Amino acid sequence: MTTDARTAIVTGASGGIGEAITAMLLEEGFAVTMLGRDADKLTAIAGEFETGRLACAAGSITDDGYLDEVVARHTERFGALDLLVNNAGVSGHRRIGELDAALVDEQLAVNLRAVIMLTNKCLPLLRSAVAKRGSAQIVNTASNAGKRGEATLASYSATKAGVVGFTEALHDELASEGIKATAICPGLVDTPMADEYRSGGAVEMISPRDVAETVRLTTRLSRGCIVPEIILLRPTEWIAPSEVR
Ligand SMILES: NC(=O)c1ccc[n+]([C@@H]2O[C@H](COP(=O)([O-])OP(=O)(O)OC[C@H]3O[C@@H](n4cnc5c(N)ncnc54)[C@H](OP(=O)(O)O)[C@@H]3O)[C@@H](O)[C@H]2O)c1
C-alpha cells in the first residue's frame, strides 16, 4: 500500500497507551504501523479498527534485526515517516539491594536502548518526511518517574530519565532541520502496567486516552511550534506534605 496520508510507527501498540495513541492517529488520518511482541494481540486490535491504513509487525524491539526489518518494510511501503512514537516499555518494582541483572538489563534494553536504536534507524525516513511535508516528529513515552525518581522504581526511573535526556538531545540536534521531539511524562496510567497499584482498592488514574490526546495536540501544531515535554499528573501526585503548605 502506498499512501499520501501521514505515516506513523508506534511501538508498544499491542495494548495500553500505544493502542490509544494508534486509535487517535487513525482518527487523525495517519497510516500506522503497530509494533508489539504479541502477534495475536496486534491482529485482534487491528481487526477492531477495520481500516486499510493499519499494518502490524510483531517482534521484540530489543532485536536490532527486527528493527531493521520494520524500517525496511516502512521504507518500501511509504518512503517517509512523519511520526515515530517510541512507547513500548517494561516496569517492575524492586527495592535497592534487591535489583537483579535480568530486570535491569531488560529495562535498559526496552526502555532506553531500543528507543535510541529505532530512532537512529528511522532518521532517513524522518528526513524524507521533512523533504515531503516540511516537518516530522518523534514522541517518546517517558514517565514522571523520569523527572523525579521513585522508590522501588530506581532502575525504571533511571531508564526514563535517560529517555528524557535523549529527547532533549534530539531537540538540540534535529529541531532546526524540522524534526520535533517530545517526551511524554505521565504519572500512573490505567493500563496493565499499573495493575500492581490496584491491590488496595480503586485508584484514580490517568486514562490511556488522556495520553493519546496530548500526542494529538503535538501532531496538530505548526512547524514553528515545538512541545519538548509534557508532564501529566494524577490529583495526588507531586503534592507537598501538608506541614509545608
Ligand atoms: N501505565 C503507567 O502507569 C505508565 C506511566 C508512565 C509511563 N508509562 C510508560 O508508557 C509506556 C506504555 O506503557 P503501558 O502503560 O501502555 O503498558 P502496557 O500496557 O504494559 O504496554 C507495554 C507495551 O510495551 C510492549 N513491549 C514490552 N516489551 C517489549 C519488547 N521487548 N519488544 C516490543 N514491545 C515490547 C508490550 O508489547 P506486548 O504486550 O506485545 O508484550 C506492550 O505493547 C511504557 O513506556 C511505560 O513505561 C506507563
**Tell me, what's the pLDDT at 245?**
80
Where are the domains positioned within the chain?
A: 7-244
192 ligand 1 Cβ < 6 A: yes
Q: Is 156 a catalytic residue?
A: yes
- The band of 106, judged by pLDDT with boundaries at 50, 70 and 90, is very high
pLDDT of residue 241: 83
Checking if the pLDDT of 128 tops 90, the result is yes
- 10, 11, 17: residue to mutate for ligand 1 pocket, most atoms within 8 A of CB: 17
* Ligand 1 centroid from CA 100, angstroms: 20
CA distances from 149 to 13, 58, 142, 197, 223 (A): 26, 31, 12, 17, 33
Of the pLDDT bands very low, low, confident and very high (cuts 50, 70, 90), residue 240 is confident
Q: What per-residue confidence (pLDDT) applies to 23?
A: 97
Ligand 1 centroid – CA 63 distance (Å): 16
Tens-place pLDDT, residues 129-161: 999 999 999 999 999 999 999 999 999 999 999
| Span of 102-116, 178-192, 196-210 with lowest mean pLDDT | 196-210
CATH architecture of 7-244: 3-Layer(aba) Sandwich (3.40)
pLDDT over 60 at 1, yes or no? no
Looking at the DSSP bridge assignments, the partners of residue 74 are: none
In short, whether 41's Cβ falls inside 6 Å of ligand 1 is yes
Predicted local confidence at residue 3, as pLDDT: 65
Q: Whose CA is nearest to atom 37 of ligand 1?
A: 36
Contacts (Cβ under 8 Å, ≥6 apart) of 5: 29, 30, 31, 53
Q: Provide the pLDDT confidence category of residue 50 given band limits of 50, 70 and 90.
A: confident
